[in-house]
Amino acid sequence: LLIPPVLFRAATAAAVFLLASCSSGEQPADIAVGQAWTRETVAGQTSAAAYFSITNRGGRSDRLVLVSSPLAKAASLHSSSSEGGVARMRPIADGLAIPAGGSAEFKPGGNHVMLTGLSQPLKAGTSSELRLRFERSGERRVELRVLDAAASGGEPRSHSGH
């Protein structure tokens, strides 16, 4: 089988071009944050935990470095863990990496955003905003819904207004 030289050269060029375009430069991080929720609080409670999920469909890892919300004076990344039945809560230092093509789950009993210095008790059925700053992707703003305190991560129960 004889391939005309012109066609052969064209095919080679096309192959080289395809290979080059595949490997040239990584795709940027592509960060999406799902809707966030927290629980209602009563007067006297100064903090609340916020939960959400982050997915990175991009080709580069990114890092969640800063969180804030108009509801609280400060917000920080925390992690709860349990050892021998003893629950511990510790700050997550230096932010949280979201690997390329990966995700991070902020859920009850695990990683969460701790909202401290609540300006007022959080009421079920209301909503506010959670701002998340990523090292590469910049800021994402998502709705932060206040759910009935009996809501749990896996099966959030219906709350007032529904």
93 Cβ contact partners less than 8 Å away, ≥ 6 residues apart: none
Is residue 41 involved in binding other proteins (CB under 8 A)?
A: yes
DSSP secondary structure string, 80-135? EEEETTEEEEEE-TT-EEE-TT-EEEE-TTSEEEEEEEESSPPPTT-EEEEEEEET
The C-alpha atoms of residue 1 and residue 25 are separated, in whole angstroms, by: 38
46 binding other proteins? (CB under 8 A): yes
* Region near other proteins per CB under 8 A, out of 42-50, 62-70, 94-102, 135-143: 42-50
Report in angstroms how near the CB of residue 131 gets to other proteins at its nearest: 19
Could you say which of 29, 33, 36, 48 contacts other proteins (CB under 8 A)?
48
Binding site for other proteins (CB under 8 A): 39-49, 76, 78, 80, 82, 85-89, 91, 108-109, 112, 114-116, 149-153, 155, 157
